[in-house]
Amino acid sequence: MPPYDVLGVVHRWLVDLSLLFRRQSEIDAKARDARLQRALEEVERFKALLQEQRAADRDHKDVNKSEYNRVFAGGCCCACPDSALQ
């Protein structure tokens, strides 16, 4: 086999290897993008849950404050006639 044929074979092998690495890099990039997208969706989901929880906490604080004000303003939470607060 003449040396120029060996160089041709090596060149083709290197080109094929380069293409395989490029394809693998593309596959890895797509997989990374998919993982990042799922992570972003999870962050958005948890962000929405946090906002809902904060809203519920605000509502709960408002209810507790209004109950506190009502009870200590002379009302009774059970409206019984024997209440010491009436």
Read off the pLDDT band of 86 (50, 70, 90). Answer: very low
- Across 22-33, b (16+ Cβ under 10 Å) vs e yields eeeeeeeeeeee
Span 50-84, pLDDT tens digits? 999 998 888 777 777 777 777 676 655 565 555 55
Among the residue ranges 2-6, 8-12, 18-22, 80-84, the one predicted with the least confidence is: 80-84
| Measured distance CA(2)–CA(43) in Å, rounded | 61
The pair of three-digit structure tokens given for residue 37, joined into one six-digit string: 């997208």
Which of the two residues, 10 and 48, has the higher pLDDT score?
48
**What letter does residue 74 receive in the DSSP assignment?**
T
Alpha helix (H) residue ranges in 2-84:
3-72
Please say if the pLDDT value at position 19 is more than 90: yes
| Measured distance CA(49)–CA(51) in Å, rounded | 5
Predicted TM-score (pTM) of this structure: 0.52
The pair of three-digit structure tokens given for residue 39, joined into one six-digit string: 């992570």
